[in-house]
Structure 1
Amino acid sequence: MITTEIATNSRPSDVLKKAMHIASYYGFDNVEKIATHQKKYSDYLKQNEIEKSSSLSSVKINAERIKDNTKNLEKSVFDDEIFSALKMAVDCNLLPSERPVLIHHSNIDANNNMLKFELIATGVKNSIAEALILKTASAILEEIGITKNCVYINSIGDKDSALQFARELNLYFRKNINALPAQIRHLIKKDIFSVYNQLNAENHQLLENMPQSMGFLSDNSRRHLGEIIEYLETGGIPYKIDNFLIGNSNYYSQTLFEIRQIRDDEDDDISILAKGGRCDEIVKNMFNINVPAVGIVFEFDKKGVKKRELNLFKKSKKPKFYFVQLGYEAKLKSLLIIDTLRKANIPAYHSLYNDKLASQLAIARYLNVPYTIIMGSREAIDGTIIVKNMNTQFQNTIPVNELVNYIKRIII
């Protein structure tokens, strides 16, 4: 079970509010709130030739087809919750989308009466999606008092990588059929990865020589995982590679991850604080559209949380800054910049998935922010950052470690 241990001095309703507040710093928002701004925003970008129309805009999703696609699927807690949030995005016409969408969503599980909180990033193919999800999740855990945790991560690669891995597993299990527990032998034909997962749960002797997914990754899949790890290292997020973290290839592609509490004693039970992965296949199988998606799910005790508190459409103070990043080195350090601003209670707009300078500056103009914070490759290497006044066009280059103090001086 995914169980997040809440700090003893925090009520579940307060934890939920903190989670939504922290998520907003990293660009995640309530589904309904995003929907109210999405059309106006997209129209502006098209009118100014910042964004071209996509074929996705003409895609219509059939509700009956969704029902047919999901009624026979055996889904885990993670699958159910991600599907719930994605379904809401579809209902609000946010999917399929021409632009990336960052969603936070919460609901109460009718089966176990637990509060679920999930983060989903759709429309982002590259590794910044996983990095953004994991950084936001880590910040939420830190805010609610859970600081001793670690990201466990693995990759089953793209479709071809996963198929090759599955074939090797099939051969291995058939060669060792007599050593397989009788009750799971029938699963070899049905779902080879479920055999893998059950053997791992039992710490079975066959694990010792079992093929591992890392050995079958394509160059692109290996590069994708390497970039995520680089983001984690740059952001100071503890991580470990877990070769036995495997999902269902019909739902997942590329990366899977869990955030676990660090145990004081090796004999203690493993406490999974949050669980997620890249779920492009869930979107494809359930909605018949090719939209990349990454998600993570928390599970909390719901005691005292009222239904009206689940997805509050909360008005927040409009940020005065838009953070612009350009180049891989700057993107690597972007999460640190946002985290620094968050800890100083300075909200800033950003589009970390956007690689184009002109597009980011156009969005800043649309949002009518008085200042932009800019980091390019040179600034990332030099440890500096640019703060630009959008009205006067005056800009100043300062050391990154002086950013917060500089901002506080200019906005007083």
Structure 2
Amino acid sequence: MNKRTEYHPKDILRHVQHVADYYGFLPFSSLTQAKQGTHIKHEPYQNVFAKEKLDPMAQLTVAFLKRVRSAGLKPSIQQPLFVWHTNITPGRTAPKQSFIQFHAIGVPHVIAEAVLLHATNTLIRNVYKSEPTIRLNSIGDKETRVRFTKELEQYFQKNDGDEIPQECMLQAKHGVFSGAEALVARHCADTMPQSINVLSEASRRHLENLIELLEETKLSYTLASDLITHENAWSETCFEIQVDDERAAWGSRYEHITKSFFDIALPSVVMIVRLYVKPVLVVAKQKRKSPIFIFIHIGIEAKRISIMFAQEFQKAHLPLLQMIGVESLTEQIRIAETLHPQYLLIMGRKEALEETVILRHCSSYTETILPLDTLVQTIKEMVQ
């Protein structure tokens, strides 16, 4: 992997939209267009963080949350928002350093991390034409942070002037997390305490649930104790995706910083991909064709299955669009009908338990119940 390889912005947008369709992320630009012309009244921002204390990835996340709020969008736990955004804008020259963000806002369940990791992993594989590596850690909740901070304080006190480089000790005087990050950057963190060993019961259970879901959906990962996030913005799970031992994407759960933008703090996750892009004019997007298949579903089990079928449909080169972030089955059907698909694949809780899916022909409203184990083959025969 050459981090300085420049990609054409048209190709990047094509790859991102392709992945977003399969995994259910809406383009932020389409959501803002839907709100144009409406008057949006805002309460003043709550100052719950100091921007200068945020790391660069947190600053990008805060800037995006401001856009979400300014657009009048109001995600909630009852109606979360799965969305993607980039600074590559049609009609403008692409910035040489470009970012693609995938957000799941208002989702406490580990389905959010799993979907973001699958989507970002697929995007990076498609762009770099190489197999990525996912590295995963948990820095836990507030209770875990208190424990981990004490462990780090004792570690730096015990090893002062011993095996720790002097530059790292100086960083630790500004904060033990700064010292820990300095040790990691200098590859001197082998004996440093690990956050995973002091997780609270709630954080341990969250990490175990994520690992179980990643294994169920066949996504490989490695645990990485050297992944540490800044305590002012991030919580619980954090992860990076590497290609040839170099970071291609980074992400984490966040909640505290959402207090400034929504009625309550919302459990959320972000994945951020950085790419170097050719600084050329980005051509305006052509109007998209109506999708052939839209997969709509309700319930955690159905969402888990939807991750699997996103992979299977991609491998079979079958088109698919879904809306993992829309909780209501009725609302998913309403949105789907505005897109004029040829078919709907419908899975409720009953179908998920029975391992079936309802195929609805949108022009005739005829429905057929199909078993999951032969679904991809049946669909391939339909579109041939």
CA distance in 2, matches of 1:103, 1:224: 23
CA distance in 2, matches of 1:191, 1:60: 34
User: Is the CA contact (8 Å cut-off) linking 2:241 and 2:250 kept in structure 1?
Assistant: yes
Say yes or no: does 1:241 pair with 2:223.
yes
Deviation at 1:145? Answer: 4.4
Distance 1:292 1:313, change over 3 A: farther
Distance 1:220 1:146, change over 3 A: farther
User: Is the CA contact (8 Å cut-off) linking 2:23 and 2:310 kept in structure 1?
Assistant: yes
User: Is the CA contact (8 Å cut-off) linking 2:8 and 2:277 kept in structure 1?
Assistant: no
Deviation at 1:376? Answer: 5.7
CA distance in 2, matches of 1:33, 1:3: 32
Say yes or no: does 1:94 pair with 2:94.
no
User: Is the CA contact (8 Å cut-off) linking 1:152 and 1:239 kept in structure 2?
Assistant: yes
User: Is the CA contact (8 Å cut-off) linking 1:150 and 1:237 kept in structure 2?
Assistant: no
Specify the alignment match of 2:24 in structure 1: 27
SS of residue paired to 2:358: strand
Specify the alignment match of 1:300 in structure 2: 275
Residue of structure 2 aligned with 1:254, choices 219, 225, 236: 236
Residue of structure 2 aligned with 1:276, choices 226, 241, 251: 251
CA distance in 2, matches of 1:230, 1:366: 32
Say yes or no: does 1:193 pair with 2:177.
yes
Distance 1:59 1:159, change over 3 A: farther
User: Is the CA contact (8 Å cut-off) linking 1:322 and 1:372 kept in structure 2?
Assistant: yes
Deviation at 1:172? Answer: 2.0
CA distance in 1, matches of 2:260, 2:168: 25
Specify the alignment match of 1:333 in structure 2: 305
CA distance in 2, matches of 1:360, 1:99: 12
Specify the alignment match of 2:212 in structure 1: 230
CA distance in 1, matches of 2:376, 2:308: 13
State, as a whole percentage, how many aligned pairs show the same letter.
29
SS of residue paired to 1:99: coil
Distance 1:126 1:60, change over 3 A: farther
Consecutive unaligned residues of structure 2, counting only runs of 5 or more, are 89-94
Specify the alignment match of 1:103 in structure 2: 83
Aligned counterparts, 1:12-161, within 5 A: 12-37=9-34, 60-62=43-45, 69-76=49-56, 78-95=57-74, 99-107=79-87, 113-161=96-144
Say yes or no: does 1:349 pair with 2:322.
yes
SS of residue paired to 1:177: coil
CA distance in 2, matches of 1:226, 1:235: 14
CA distance in 1, matches of 2:343, 2:35: 23
User: Is the CA contact (8 Å cut-off) linking 2:74 and 2:262 kept in structure 1?
Assistant: no
Specify the alignment match of 1:46 in structure 2: none
Deviation at 1:74? Answer: 4.4
CA distance in 2, matches of 1:404, 1:59: 47
CA distance in 2, matches of 1:194, 1:291: 26
Structure-1-length-normalised TM-score: 0.77
Deviation at 1:318? Answer: 3.5
Distance 1:74 1:371, change over 3 A: closer
SS of residue paired to 2:99: strand
Consecutive aligned runs of 4 or more in structure 1 exceeding 6 Å deviation: 285-288, 390-393
User: Is the CA contact (8 Å cut-off) linking 1:3 and 1:272 kept in structure 2?
Assistant: no
Distance 1:297 1:3, change over 3 A: farther
CA distance in 1, matches of 2:261, 2:167: 30
CA distance in 2, matches of 1:20, 1:4: 22
SS of residue paired to 1:254: strand
Specify the alignment match of 1:50 in structure 2: none
Aligned length: 371
Deviation at 1:379? Answer: 5.5
Residue of structure 2 aligned with 1:170, choices 142, 146, 153: 153
SS of residue paired to 2:52: coil
Specify the alignment match of 2:92 in structure 1: none
Deviation at 1:377? Answer: 6.5
CA distance in 2, matches of 1:361, 1:288: 25
Distance 1:380 1:331, change over 3 A: same
Specify the alignment match of 1:386 in structure 2: 358
Specify the alignment match of 1:215 in structure 2: 197
> Does 130-139 or 391-400 show the bigger shift?
391-400
Structure-2-length-normalised TM-score: 0.82
SS of residue paired to 1:72: helix
Specify the alignment match of 1:404 in structure 2: 376
